[in-house]
Amino acid sequence: MTESIKSPPRGAWLTALATLFTQVAPGRWLALMLLALHVAVVFDADAALTGAFLLAHYGLFLLWQPLVRSETRIEPRLALPVFAMAALLVLVDSTWVMALWLAILAGLMGAVATSQNERGPRWAYLLALGYLLALLLAWVLPQSLGSAAALPDGLQTAVRFGLPLLPLVILFLPATRQRSTSSTLDFIYGLMLSLLIMVMALGVFAVVAVAKVSYAWALVQTLLGMAALLLVLSWLWNPHAGFAGLGQVTSRYLLSVGLPFEGWAQRLATRAERERDPESFVRDALADLHELTWIRGGHWQAARGEGQFGEPAGHSVSHAFHGLSLTWQSPRPLTPALALHVRLLSQLLGYFYAAKVREQTLREQAYSQAIHDTGARLTHDVKNILQSMKTLLAAADMSTPEDSDRLLALMKRQLPQLAARLSQTVDKLKQPSEMDVAQQPAQSWWNALQARYEQDDVRFFADALDDTPLPQDLFDSVVDNLLTNALRKRQSESGVAIEARLELHPLVRLTVTDSGTAAPEHVARNLFLSPVVSDFGLGVGLYQAARQAARVGYRLELTDNQAGRVSFCLQATDSQPGMPG
């Protein structure tokens, strides 16, 4: 039996080769790239060999470059400039093209060198920068000037065989595999360095062409002139004579771009405090941007609305932050500084819009919670009134003809109280904001409570009652919940004794105690913290009562929870206003 040999999948060798390339340190690619460039530029070979080394140099550059990650798929619009640059280097035999390429490489080396934190890679890129400058000044630039800048034979030999030592040193320097990313590169520094090198090359060419001097003397004159110019610019950038320099002027321009930004931001914050609706806030804030002469108008769109501001224009830029989409229209394309400024304005508006949306959501949640709390409290009030009516109906069903006088007297006492309580509940439903406001003297409230539960075998105890004002709604809600729960417990457990006690000094204290079964541990633990479910119907009513008590300066708690003694206490806190001392 023959074994079938599995052939490797198509393209596996290409994947392995790509993996191998990604494992090579960038410093190695850099050294090989410079060596290939040196062979192509310095040594006099035929066009085919020079083109081959230039193509190899460009390929090594693509393996080293820090602008695009190696695993990123290049789009066609990015691939076109890559192939165009390769064709320009290989097909166009011009020293000025090579000088331009060396200036670009030198700027890129400087940008990468400033982003390196380790000493080894930084030295490698500085050596590469020195090599490129030496190759440009000692070989390429003299070649571009022709016979007027002919180099001595000794210098040519030194360039051919001595200058490659710098790439060889880079090749054997300790290197790291970590690549610089485009986000860490200082492109401004690299651009300035490239422009400086180009200006120097053009300056040397101008001096040689106009003054008819030697290349060395033209180079010295150009370097001295550029040094003097940089010295003056450095002094103007940050002078010490008491006036703002170019640095502050440039920073002010980049930050403000002619817009009184601080004033607009202050008006934006003030408007955010006054305006509650998110969409109205955005509309008014955009209408206040009339001072931006470079913004003609635009369009905005949010979750609950959209609108336009200003006038339409030919060019537009769009941003979206935190659910707010903004389209800015300008009469001409925005410069990079203006585009950055527009992005900052969009972010500020997006942050403020998101804050207004969260504020509106919190208001809606608070409103819904208030409706829920009011409905829950009034539901329990109605339930307690219904329980009292059932008690009266039960007494009427069990009465005999001989009890007609007593039943009539009971009805005369209880029905007006039930009607008054029901009327109060309806009033609370109409005006929930006035809940917890009404006060009633302690003596009259206590008498009304005893009259309501006269037929329920509840013992009442009170010491030295006076006209101390009590929050009527709170005390009615709490005592009705506690006594109703205790009476319900008596229906399932025979012989449960119930008592209520009111004390006014030193602090107002109402206690309701029964001799029934203790509440389960999990119910007692969460009784006043969240709605719970229990066999006794406890939980929602007492949870609402505890929150109501906390709002008016009282505290509701379960002081005893053991078999034969379950005690609830409603007590005023020390900070409760209007308490007798």
The reply to whether 368 falls in a domain is no
The reply to whether 319 falls in a domain is yes
Q: 85 with 32, same domain?
A: yes
Q: 142 with 265, same domain?
A: no
Q: Of 32, 52, 30, 50, whose CA–CA distance to 41 is shortest?
A: 50
Q: Does the predicted model carry a pTM greater than 0.75?
A: no
Last residue of a domain, one of 322, 345, 363: 363
Residue 372 has pLDDT above 80, yes or no: no
Residue 15 has pLDDT above 80, yes or no: no
The reply to whether 413 falls in a domain is no
Beta bridge pairs of residue 470: 440
Q: Is 471 left (phi over 0), alpha (psi -120 to 50) or beta?
A: beta
Q: 194 with 272, same domain?
A: no
pLDDT for res 4:
46
Question: Is 528 in contact with 467 (CB distance < 8 Å)?
Answer: no
pLDDT for res 248:
67
Which residue did the predictor score with more confidence, 581 or 442? 442
**Per-residue pLDDT tens over the stretch 41-52:** 998 778 888 889
Range of the domain at 156: 17-237
**Per-residue pLDDT tens over the stretch 466-512:** 888 998 888 888 888 888 888 888 888 888 999 999 998 888 999 99
Q: 510 with 481, same domain?
A: yes
Q: Is 300 left (phi over 0), alpha (psi -120 to 50) or beta?
A: beta
| Tokens of residue 8, six digits | 């490797």
Q: 449 with 574, same domain?
A: yes
DSSP letters, 202-233, are: HHHHHHHHHH---HHHHHHHHHHHHHHHHHHH
Q: 158: which residues sit within 8 A by CB, 6+ positions away?
A: none
Mean pLDDT (the chain, rounded): 80
pLDDT for res 183:
46
How far apart are the C-alpha atoms of 453 and 414, rounded to whole Å? Answer: 9
Last residue of a domain, one of 204, 237, 270: 237
Question: What does the pLDDT average to over 116-121?
Answer: 80
pLDDT for res 223:
92
Q: pLDDT band at 578, cuts 50/70/90?
A: very low
Q: 539: which residues sit within 8 A by CB, 6+ positions away?
A: 523, 527, 531, 532, 533
How far apart are the C-alpha atoms of 271 and 257, rounded to whole Å? Answer: 23
Exposure of 143 by Cβ count < 10 A (0-12 exposed, 13-18 middle, 19+ buried)? middle
Angle 119-135/165-172 helices, nearest 10 degrees? 160
How far apart are the C-alpha atoms of 428 and 435, rounded to whole Å? Answer: 6
Q: 191 with 288, same domain?
A: no
Q: 127 with 262, same domain?
A: no
Residue 538 has pLDDT above 60, yes or no: no
pLDDT for res 537:
47
DSSP letters, 384-453, are: HHHHHHHHHHHHHHH--GGGHHHHHHHHHHHHHHHHHHHHHHHHHHH-GGGTTT-EEEHHHHHHHHHHHT
pLDDT for res 100:
92
How far apart are the C-alpha atoms of 251 and 246, rounded to whole Å? Answer: 8
Amino acid type, 296: R
Q: 132 with 273, same domain?
A: no
Q: 141 with 267, same domain?
A: no
Which residue did the predictor score with more confidence, 17 or 144? 144
Angle 47-64/26-42 helices, nearest 10 degrees? 160
* DSSP 8-state symbol, 530: S
Question: What does the pLDDT average to over 177-206?
Answer: 79
* Dihedral over Cα of 180, 182, 183, 189: its sign: positive
| Structural domains counted in the chain | 3
Q: 204 with 272, same domain?
A: no
Question: What does the pLDDT average to over 237-245?
Answer: 63
The reply to whether 374 falls in a domain is no
Q: Of 489, 482, 473, whose CA–CA distance to 377 is shortest?
A: 473
Q: 294 with 326, same domain?
A: yes
Residue 245 has pLDDT above 80, yes or no: no
Residue 18 has pLDDT above 60, yes or no: no
How far apart are the C-alpha atoms of 362 and 437, rounded to whole Å? Answer: 26
Question: Is 148 in contact with 215 (CB distance < 8 Å)?
Answer: yes
List Cα–Cα distances, 563 to 322, 513, 532, 558, in angstroms: 57, 12, 20, 14
The reply to whether 9 falls in a domain is no
Q: Read off the CATH number of the domain in which 461 is found.
A: 3.30.565.10
Chain centre to alpha carbon of residue 430:
42
Q: pLDDT band at 376, cuts 50/70/90?
A: low
Q: 151 with 177, same domain?
A: yes
Tell me the percentage of the chain whose pLDDT exceeds 90: 19
The reply to whether 3 falls in a domain is no
DSSP letters, 87-151, are: HHHHH---HHHHHHHHHHHHHHHHHHHHT--SHHHHHHHHHHHHHHHHHIIIIIHHHHHGGGGPP
The reply to whether 250 falls in a domain is no
The reply to whether 12 falls in a domain is no
Q: pLDDT band at 377, cuts 50/70/90?
A: low
Last residue of a domain, one of 205, 237, 269: 237
Report the SS3 class of residue 305.
Answer: coil
| Token pair 């470079």: residue | 294
Q: pLDDT band at 330, cuts 50/70/90?
A: confident
